Chains A and B, each alone.
Chain A
Amino acid sequence: MTHYLLRRVLLGVVQVFLVVVGIFLLTEALPGDAAVTIAGDNPDPAVIAGLREQLGLDRPIWQRFADWLLAAAQGDLGTSLAGPRSVAAVIGSAAGPTLLLACLALVLLVPLSTGVGMLAARREGGRLDRMITSTTLGLYAAPEFAMAILLVTVFAVQLGWFPPTAVGGSLPSRPDLLVLPVVVLLLRPICSLSRLVRAGMIEAQRSPYVQHARRLGFSPARIRFAHALPNAAAPAVQQLARTADWLIGGVIVVEAIFVIPGLGTTLLEAVSARDLPVLQGLALVFASTTVLVNLGADVAARILSPTAEAHR
C-alpha cells in the first residue's frame, strides 16, 4: 500500500506539472495579452507597448515560465496582472464561497443518493423503482443552466420563496441564499450516483455471499447495510470523487447565474483579462484537487472492495 501511494503521489506531481505547462502554453496561444485587454477600446499602440514592458510581457516565453515555476516552487504564486493583489489572495478570497457550496452539496449528496438508490433497489422493476429510474434519468438529462433558470423563475421570481441570486449577501450568514444553488448543484449528481448505488445493490443482492447471509437468517436490513451496501459503494465512490472534483472546479454556470464570487467566476475573469498568473494559480489548485480527490477515491475503493483486498 505504501509503495502504491508513493507511486500515485509521484505520478500526481507529474500530472499537475503537465497541466500547468499546458495552461501556460494555451494562454500564450490565445490572441491578445493582458496589456491589450487593459488598454481596452481604441487603444494607443504606445500605451500597449508601455503596459507590456511594465507587466514584463516583453520577455521571452520560456523565461517567464521559468521565473514563475521557480517562485511557485517556493510557494509564491505571484501577483495578478490585472490589479495589485497577490494571486494567493485572489484565489483565497474566491475559494471560500466555492468550498462552502461544494462541501454542503457533497455532505447532502452522499445520504440522499444512497437513500434514493437503495429505495429503488428494494424491489427491482417495482413501481417505485420504475418511478425513481425514469425521474433520475430525466433530471440527469437537464443541463444545470436550464434547471437553474427554471428554479429561479418559479421559486424566486414567481413564488418569492427564496432569493433569486446571492447579490449583496454574504453566504454563510444567509442560509436562504444557498438553497437554490445547492439544489441545482445536487440534482444531476444525485441522479448519476443513485443509479450507480441502485445497480450495485441489485448486483450485490444477487451475489452468493448475500444469498448465503439470507440463508443464515440475517435480517434484511442488516444484509442491505452491512453486506450489500459496502460492495455496491465501490463504483459509487469513484463517481463521488469525480463529482467532488466537478463541484470545486466546474460550478462556473451555477456561480454565474446566482452571482456567487467563487473560483469559477475568478477563472472566467482571469481568462478574459489574460491574467496568466491567476490562471496558473487556478490551474495548480484545480489540478492538485483532481489528483488528490482521485487518489483518495482509489484508496477508498481498494479498502471497500473485497476483491481488491486479496491483492493487498
Chain B
Amino acid sequence: MQNLNRRGFLGLTAGAVLLTGCAPGGGSTAGAPKPGGRLRAAFSGGGAAEVLDPHETDLYIEIARAKALYDKLADYGSDMSPQPRLAERWEPSADLLTWRITLRQTNFHDERPLRAADVLASYARITEPGGSRRAKSTLSVIDLANSRAIDDRTVEFRLKRPYAEFPNALATLGAYIIPEGTTDFTKPIGTGPFKLVSFEPGRSFLAARNPQYFDGAPLVDELQIVVTNDEAARVNALLGKQIDYAHDLTLTSARTYESSGQLQVHRLPLGNFHGLAMKVDRPPFDRPELRQAMFHLIDREELLRSVLQGSGQIGNDLYGKGYRYYAELPQRRQDLERARALVKQAGAEGMTIDFNTSDASTGLKEAAMAISDQAREVGLNLNVRLGNKDTYWSDINKSGVLASYRSGGMPLDSHFSQRLLSSSTTNNTAWRRPEFDALYDEAQSTLDESRRAELYRRMQEQLFHEGGFVWWGVSDWIVASAANVGGVDDRAPANTLDWARFDKVWLA
C-alpha cells in the first residue's frame, strides 16, 4: 500500500491477545523478554498537519501513536472478535437495548482515575453534531442523552436499536477514551502504555513507558515513532540501525533482505482483502447468471501468484476469511465451461463491459488486467478503465457497474452494515434486499451466538451464490524489525490490538 491513498486505507484490522497470549515474533533471535532501551519505529506520515487527537486517527501512524497513549473500551482480536480493554466486562439487557459496562480500575497519566464520566464525554465528543470524526457513525447507535454513569466505574449505554454485537462498536477505530473536558491535545493525557515526552508533527514522536499500565508495564523505556514516507528509506534506516521497526514494506524488499539475516520480516495475514464489486441493481450485472459467470471465470490461484506475488491466500469470494462468523463453504475454483454456459444463459456473449480500476491501492490495476484476460476466455470483453486514484472510492460508489475493490479488516457485522444493507452509505454493489436486512436485524436481536452464526451463514450463502462482491484473495501486510527485536506479533492483522503493540516488544 505504499500508494494506498494515505488518508485512505482505513482497514480496521486486528490481533487477538487476551485469549491467546502475546505471540512472540517468529524467527526472532531476540531471546527472552528483556526490559530497557528505546524502540524506534518508522511509519509513513501525515505531514506537518499531524495532530495527537486520538479521535481524528486515520493513518497507520496516527493509530500507532493513539494506541501508545490511549485505550478504547475494547479492541479487535486477530479474528476481529472484540476483546475487553478499559471495559472489564459488558452485560446487555434481555432486549439488547441497554448495555452495562464495568470499567477497569486504572488511572490516566496524570493520576486521575478513569471514570464513567470520561467515557460518556469521549463518546459525546466523537459523535458531536456537525463533526466528522472517524468513529461517529459506528457510535451513533448509542442514545447518549439517555445513557448515564451509574457510578464512577459503571456506564449504562442506551442504544437506539438492539445491537447484539455492540462490543464491536466499543472497539471501532478512533473510539479512544480521553479525560472529560479535554480540548487541548498538545499535551495528551491517556491511560495507554506510554506517556508523551515530545511531538513534532510530521517528524517524530517520543513517549516514555507508563509503569502503571493496566496490561503490564511496557518492556522498553521509550518509544520513538518517526515519519519516513519513502519505503526505500525505511529499509535503509533499518539496515543502517537507525530504526528498529519499519511498517509497510514491499514484497521486493522483504524478499531481498529476509534471507540475509539482516532483519526480520513479519508477514501479517488476513488484513488486506482483494476483490471486485458488481452493481447488482443495473444492467448487465442485474442478471444473476452473469454474476455467477464472473464467480466461475476467475482463476484465484493465478491472481494470488501474479497480483499478490504469492504473498497471501486465495479467498472464497466471501469477505472476512479467518474472522469470527466467517462461513466456511466449499472452495470455489475456476470453471471456464460453466462460466461460458452462464455467459450464454445471460445473453452476454461478446458483450463489452467497462471495468473501473485505479492506482488508489496496490494491486487494483494489476488485478483488473488479469481478470479481464481471464474473462476474454469465456467471451466477455472487460474494458479496463483507469480512473483517478484520489477520487476512486467515491467515484465507484456513485457510478459504474464493475470495479476493482479492496478492504482492510473489520468484523463481519461492520462489513454487512456499511456495505450490504439497504441503508448502507457505501453500498458499492447496490445490494438492497429486505430479506437480507431482516436476517441482519435478527442476528443483532439475539443473544444466542450460535443462532447468530446460523443467520450470518445464511446471509453469506446468499452472497456466495448471487452477491455482487467477489473476494478472490487476501494479501499479507509486511512489517520488518531489526534482528534484536523480540515480541512482534506475527498474526495480528494491521490495526488490530496486537498490531504495533510496542508495549509488548523488547530489545535484546
Which residues in window 16-39 of B have CB below 8 A to A? none
Q: A37-B7, A90-B49, A269-B48 are in contact. Are A43 and B236 (CB under 8 A)?
A: no
Q: Please choose the segment from B390-398, B433-441, B481-489 that sits at the chain A interface, where 4 or more of its residues have CB less than 8 A away.
A: B390-398
Q: A40-B10, A41-B9, A256-B230 are in contact. Are A157 and B239 (CB under 8 A)?
A: yes
Q: For the complex formed, measure the closest distance between the CB of B333 and the CB atoms of chain A, giving whole angstroms.
A: 29
0/1 interface trace, chain B 2-17, chain A, CB 8 Å (1 if under): 0011111110000000
- Chain A: residues with Cβ within 8 Å of the partner, total of 51
0/1 interface trace, chain B 464-508, chain A, CB 8 Å (1 if under): 000000000000000000000000000000000000000000000
Interchain CB contact under 8 A, A84 and B51 = yes
0/1 interface trace, chain B 40-70, chain A, CB 8 Å (1 if under): 1010001111110000001000000000000
Q: Which residues of A contact B200 (CB under 8 A)?
A: 93
Interchain CB contact under 8 A, B8 and A85 = no
CB nearest neighbor in B for A51: B132
Interchain CB contact under 8 A, A44 and B425 = yes
CB nearest neighbor in B for A145: B232
Q: A85-B49, A165-B242, A273-B47 are in contact. Are A36 and B227 (CB under 8 A)?
A: no
Interchain CB contact under 8 A, B390 and A32 = yes
Which residues in window 213-234 of B have CB below 8 A to A? 224, 226-230, 232-233
Expressed in whole angstroms, the Cα–Cα distance for A58 and B5 within the complex equals 23
Report which of A30, A38, A44, A89 forms a contact with B7, defined as CB distance below 8 A: A38
Q: Please choose the segment from B118-126, B201-209, B443-451 that sits at the chain A interface, where 4 or more of its residues have CB less than 8 A away.
A: B201-209
Expressed in whole angstroms, the Cα–Cα distance for A40 and B233 within the complex equals 25
Expressed in whole angstroms, the Cα–Cα distance for A39 and B239 within the complex equals 35
**Does chain B have a CB within 8 A of A231?**
no
Q: A80-B48, A80-B49, A163-B240 are in contact. Are A265 and B233 (CB under 8 A)?
A: no
0/1 interface trace, chain B 232-266, chain A, CB 8 Å (1 if under): 11001101101100000000000000000000000
**Does chain B have a CB within 8 A of A266?**
yes
CB nearest neighbor in B for A53: B130
0/1 interface trace, chain A 133-172, chain B, CB 8 Å (1 if under): 0000000000000000100100011001001110110000
Interchain CB contact under 8 A, B236 and A272 = no
Interchain CB contact under 8 A, B240 and A157 = yes
Which residues in window 269-311 of A have CB below 8 A to B? 269-270, 272-275
Interchain CB contact under 8 A, B388 and A32 = yes
Report which of B6, B51, B58, B426 forms a contact with A272, defined as CB distance below 8 A: B6
0/1 interface trace, chain A 252-273, chain B, CB 8 Å (1 if under): 0000111101000110011011
CB nearest neighbor in A for B136: A47
Interchain CB contact under 8 A, A168 and B242 = yes
Q: A54-B132, A93-B48, A261-B202 are in contact. Are A46 and B425 (CB under 8 A)?
A: yes
Expressed in whole angstroms, the Cα–Cα distance for A64 and B50 within the complex equals 24
Q: A83-B201, A164-B240 are in contact. Are A43 and B394 (CB under 8 A)?
A: yes
Q: For the complex formed, measure the closest distance between the CB of A156 and the CB atoms of chain B, giving whole angstroms.
A: 5
Q: For the complex formed, measure the closest distance between the CB of B378 and the CB atoms of chain A, giving whole angstroms.
A: 30
Interchain CB contact under 8 A, B48 and A90 = yes
Q: For the complex formed, measure the closest distance between the CB of B398 and the CB atoms of chain A, giving whole angstroms.
A: 8
Interchain CB contact under 8 A, B240 and A85 = no
**Does chain B have a CB within 8 A of A48?**
yes
Which residues in window 216-272 of A have CB below 8 A to B? 256-259, 261, 265-266, 269-270, 272
Q: Which residues of B contact A32 (CB under 8 A)?
A: 388, 390-391
**Does chain A have a CB within 8 A of B93?**
no
Interchain CB contact under 8 A, B393 and A259 = no
Q: Which residues of B contact A152 (CB under 8 A)?
A: 236
Expressed in whole angstroms, the Cα–Cα distance for A56 and B425 within the complex equals 24
0/1 interface trace, chain B 387-427, chain A, CB 8 Å (1 if under): 01011011001100000000110000000001100000110
Expressed in whole angstroms, the Cα–Cα distance for A256 and B408 within the complex equals 27
Interchain CB contact under 8 A, A165 and B132 = no
Q: For the complex formed, measure the closest distance between the CB of A299 and the CB atoms of chain B, giving whole angstroms.
A: 35
Expressed in whole angstroms, the Cα–Cα distance for A156 and B241 within the complex equals 10
Q: Which residues of A contact B237 (CB under 8 A)?
A: 164-165, 167, 259
0/1 interface trace, chain A 198-231, chain B, CB 8 Å (1 if under): 0000000000000000000000000000000000
CB nearest neighbor in A for B10: A41
Q: Which residues of B contact A167 (CB under 8 A)?
A: 40, 42, 226, 228, 233, 237, 242-243
Q: For the complex formed, measure the closest distance between the CB of B210 and the CB atoms of chain A, giving whole angstroms.
A: 22
**Does chain B have a CB within 8 A of A22?**
no
Q: Which residues of A contact B49 (CB under 8 A)?
A: 80, 82-85, 90, 269, 273, 275
Q: Which residues of B contact A258 (CB under 8 A)?
A: 233
Q: For the complex formed, measure the closest distance between the CB of B285 and the CB atoms of chain A, giving whole angstroms.
A: 20
Q: What are 18 A-B contacts with C-beta separation under 8 Å? A: A32-B388, A40-B5, A42-B407, A43-B394, A48-B394, A54-B130, A82-B47, A149-B232, A156-B240, A157-B240, A163-B242, A164-B237, A256-B230, A257-B230, A259-B228, A259-B233, A261-B203, A269-B48
| Given A45-B398, A80-B49, A165-B237, 15 additional A-B pairs, CB 8 A | A36-B394, A37-B390, A40-B7, A41-B408, A43-B393, A54-B132, A84-B49, A93-B48, A157-B236, A157-B239, A168-B243, A259-B226, A269-B47, A269-B49, A272-B6
**Which residues on A are within 8 Å of B, measured CB to CB?**
30-32, 36-48, 50-51, 54, 80, 82-85, 89-90, 93-94, 149, 152, 156-157, 160, 163-165, 167-168, 256-259, 261, 265-266, 269-270, 272-275
The 10 closest A-B pairs by CB, nearest first: A83-B49, A269-B47, A82-B49, A164-B240, A41-B8, A164-B236, A32-B390, A32-B391, A31-B388, A44-B425
